[in-house]
Amino acid sequence: MMRRQTQLPRSKQILIGASALLAVLVTEAPAEPYALPDMGSPADAVMSTGAEQRLGKAFMRNVRESLPILDDPVLTDYVESLGRELLAADNNAGGDFTFFVIDQPVVNAFAGPGGYIGVYAGLILAAETESELAAVMAHEIAHVTQRHLMRSIDDQSKLSIPATALLVAAAILGAQVSADAGVAAIAGIQAATLQRKINFTRENEKEADRLGIVTLAKAGYDPYAMAGFFERLAKNSRVYENNAPEFLRTHPVNTNRVADALGRADDFGARQRPDHLRFQLARAKLRERSYKRPEQAVDHFRDTLREGRYRNAMAERYGYALALERAGKPDASQEIATELLAAKPMLLEFVALDGRLDVKQGRASRAVTNLKQAISLAPGSWPLRIAYSEALMATGKPTQALDELRTVARLRPGNAVLYEKLEEAAHRAGDRPATHLFRAEKLYAEGDLEPAIRQLEIALRQRDIPYHDAALIQARLDAWKEEARDSKRKKKDRNGDQRGIRAQANHLQPNH
């Protein structure tokens, strides 16, 4: 079930740049002719691709501790589908990418190590066309494919992957990752040095813009969308004054940058294409969520539908149905959902909504039947499988739900919310070893290594645990224990290094 995240205090908000770092931009030179980047990157000398992937996973755990990630399967699936379109059009794209949505009204996006790309809800709502959203995502993808972050990090050979991830997270997020570790990271000399070194350069930004526009055009989106979005935000910023969008704070836009983006787009020409319906549905869902009270959301969509103030009638009705659902009016919501499903019987958003409403109205068996049929037509749809598992739970079939969720977990490992659902299903199915295993996986995904280890140890002590399951848990336990030992060794080494640096600094004081 989707959980609403509370807004973080301003002092704790994470100001992640659309360039993924605290970008330092100066006046840019006139546009240069397009040329492929030098693929002989020095990034490999800093960190191998495999190590970067491990860093990315550790980094993501730190991000999860700091940001309200929106673990909504349907919204995440849309952002992922847009990301896949852009990746397919990018000749440089390789390896794994992970796209996710952050539940804050911030106009921004970021790219972290290992291909982790976060998109704020505020950016999706601020984008007037799907091409504008795609433009920002293509820019972030270019930062990853060109390994800009790795080019900017010196070899931190004395740091373990989790420690490096903490430092990178502290520098990228511009805030404390946690009350204790964040203070140590930002206050430490190594972290201060790292933050200065991983700022994206002007050349990185220009390269990301240039390659992003190429990807945008190849994917069939409007190549002028990047310049248009930059310019519109810059114009609107005049009324924001000190409350300008984070995109402009972390990713400054000037006339030269807009002109350069326009020049790049001229190489391809305008490509007008209608927005996907799913883009409009995502915006409607986020707008509905933006209202704290469901009654406010109901009033908003009722008024816009009555007055005709909308871009897409189907998306507006979808938002209205979601508002009615949250307001505790499933019958009224179902009436709209039935009409939407009749118009688009295979659209994920409408199938999931219909199934959820069936469960809420005591028709869980009908939801199971319909969702099972939908999965047979789209077996690779993980959001449908999650919806199906929830319907199975509602009909008292936790073992079947557990099997469905295990399938999703094999496709999408490392998701804390998914492991929470698995833990619940295993508990209700009476599978104690699996309950502790999935609780451990959830803790590990959230960055709580020691408690996760304890849960695995408890899982191994359960009676009648199958040999194969015990072997898998033992292998996982051995790996985590080694990670914990390595982290402690590196922490001890760092503490010793910093004591030596402080002693040397004290020795150089005048009174010495």
How far apart, in whole angstroms, are the C-alpha atoms of residue 371 and residue 360? 15
Short-list 392, 385, 397, CA closest to 368: 392
Q: Say if CB 412 and CB 382 are below 8 A apart.
A: yes
Place of tokens 């066309």: 129
SS3 (DSSP) at 335: helix
HEC letters along 195-253 = HHHCCCCHHHHHHHHHHHHHHHHHCCCCCCHHHHHHHHHHHHHHHHHHHCCHHHHHCCC
Q: What is the CB neighbour count within 10 angstroms for residue 376?
A: 9
427 is in an annotated binding site: no
468 is in an annotated binding site: no
Token pair recorded at residue 90: 């990018």
251 is in an annotated binding site: no
How many C-alpha atoms does 512 have within 13 Å on its Cβ side? 7
Say which residues have a Cβ less than 8 Å from residue 380's Cβ, sequence separation at least 6. Answer: none
Short-list 469, 493, 129, CA closest to 280: 129
Helix or strand holding residue 486 (H, E) = helix 467-507
For residues 457, 459, 464, 468, the Cα torsion angle rounded to the nearest 10 degrees is: -90
Q: What is the CB neighbour count within 10 angstroms for residue 499?
A: 10
- What is the radius of gyration, based on Cα positions, of the chain? 24
Short-list 333, 315, 336, 316, CA closest to 324: 333
Judged on CB neighbours under 10 Å (0-12, 13-18, 19+), 304 is middle
Helix or strand holding residue 418 (H, E) = helix 416-428
Pairing relationship of beta strands 116-120 and 109-112 according to DSSP bridges: antiparallel
Q: Which residue numbers are catalytic?
A: 140, 209
Question: What residue type is 182 in one-letter code?
Answer: G
How far apart, in whole angstroms, are the C-alpha atoms of residue 317 and residue 251? 35
Say which residues have a Cβ less than 8 Å from residue 80's Cβ, sequence separation at least 6. Answer: 99
Q: How many residues make up the chain in this entry?
A: 512
Q: Which residues are annotated as a binding site?
A: 139, 143, 205
Q: Which residues are annotated as a binding site for Zn(2+)?
A: 139, 143, 205
